[in-house]
Amino acid sequence: MSNRNGTSESLVGLRVLDLSRVLAGPLCCQLLGDHGADVIKVESPDGDDTRRWGPPFVADDMSAYFNAINRNKRNICLDLQTSRGQQVLERLLEDTDVVVENFKAGTMARWGFSDEQILERHPRLIVCRITGFGTDGPMGGMPGYDAVTQAYGGLMSINGEPDGPALRVGVPVVDMVTGIYAFSGILLALNARRLTGRGQVVDCTLVDTAVSLLHPHSASTLADGRVPVRTGSAHPTVAPYDTFEASDGAVFIGIGNDRQFRILGEQLGVPDLADDPRFRTNADRIGNLKALSELLSEKIAPLTKNELAHDLIARGVPVSAIRDVREVLDDEHVRHREMVVEMGDYRGVGFPIKLTDTPASIRQAPRAKGADTHAVLTSLGYDDETISQLLSAQVVVQDTATPNVQEASHE
């Protein structure tokens, strides 16, 4: 399959079986699909929970949430709790390079598909397992959603205002980074297979991700035993690195070195600020943070946020007005970076990984549940009579609004 530049995506020829639901696994598989992998998403007759996570909805059986993380996938509806459904799964695995699953620990084993059993039958397969806490240890097998592991993993403790409650990060950051880690782990395992000829298990957990995201707070605790506290939008070890109120809204200023701090002082009409003994170095500024914040707030308050941001960033100081999501998605530079993409009725966020020779592409909008059931079963060698039997027994489900043909994008 060629993209608009006439070249193939990086993962063309890779077959991925997406047995996952909700966010981390589906995001991982979408990333693989964006870069050319042939992804088959397997849904139960009840469907992925996130199909109903709305409003808003983009179709009768598809929330905007589901729509955002399930493009570039074929879809088969299969009841894996039945023996015949498990037989179909085994057929699917025969021609698969990567399988991604996030069932509750022990579920796959009960069906005869433990990691060990799968790799014994399919030694070249990459098995990516995503769980909340892993399968062993004191919390092994325990359920965990994004916010639960934000709490357990310490992220909520350092998110929020100093005098306010611990807060969940406003996006499902643990789930999303776990999906990215899983994507990275699969690529590592594929490279290892190229060298050894053997597959392996990629083991990703939400709690591992949460702990990995604690920097720099974890580094400080490991260095001197301190327990980090909430600092709002301010940085715990860099100053000034915080939100300030201008006359028409908020602006965030991030000062990373003394040169930038000197420019900030000049721009605010206090050119000698960088020579004040209280503020000469970052350590000085952290030690006198209250006085510095009060002084900067006074100077910034009469200014307009966009003009201040424009003038400072033009002089090499990292700064931005605080913008809402609609402003971001309509932004000229965001559009220039192709971070909003469209294909027919589909609109979504673009590709954060950009490759010059083998760029990602959209070949398929998210599919209805069971849209490709007949086509996938046919590709596995099932004849029409057998498929009819599976449909009658409700082992598989075909979306009745979808023709029994494969999409041209997967030929």
E strands within 132-286? Answer: 201-205, 241-246, 249-254
Q: Is the peptide bond before 228 cis (omega within 30 degrees of 0)?
A: no
Our CA dihedral for 108, 43, 40, 128, rounded to 10 degrees, sits at -30
Cα separation of 164 and 126, whole Å?
44
155-166 residues labelled b (16+ CB within 10 A) or e (exposed): bbbbbbeeeeee
Distances (CA, A) of 267 to 119, 202, 246, 300, 307: 62, 50, 14, 10, 11
Adjacent-strand bridge partners of 381: none
Among the options 38, 97, 146, 175, which is catalytic? 175
Cβ atoms of 296 and 308 closer than 8 Å: no
Tokens of 307: 């003009």
Tokens of 21: 């639901």
Secondary structure percentages of the chain, helix, strand, coil, to 5: 40, 15, 45
Cβ atoms of 23 and 69 closer than 8 Å: yes
> Dmax over Cα atoms in the chain, in whole Å?
85
312 alpha carbon, distance to own chain's centre: 31
Tokens of 173: 């950051």
CB-based burial label for 366 (10 Å; 0-12, 13-18, 19+):
buried
How many residues does this entry show for the chain? 411
Q: Which long-range contacts (CB under 8 A, 24 or more apart) does 350-355 make?
A: 351/34, 353/31, 353/35, 355/10, 355/35
- Residue 392 φ/ψ, nearest 5 degrees: -65, -35
- Quick check: helix, strand or coil at residue 341? strand
Whether 175 sits among the annotated catalytic residues: the reply is yes
Q: What residues are labeled active site?
A: 175
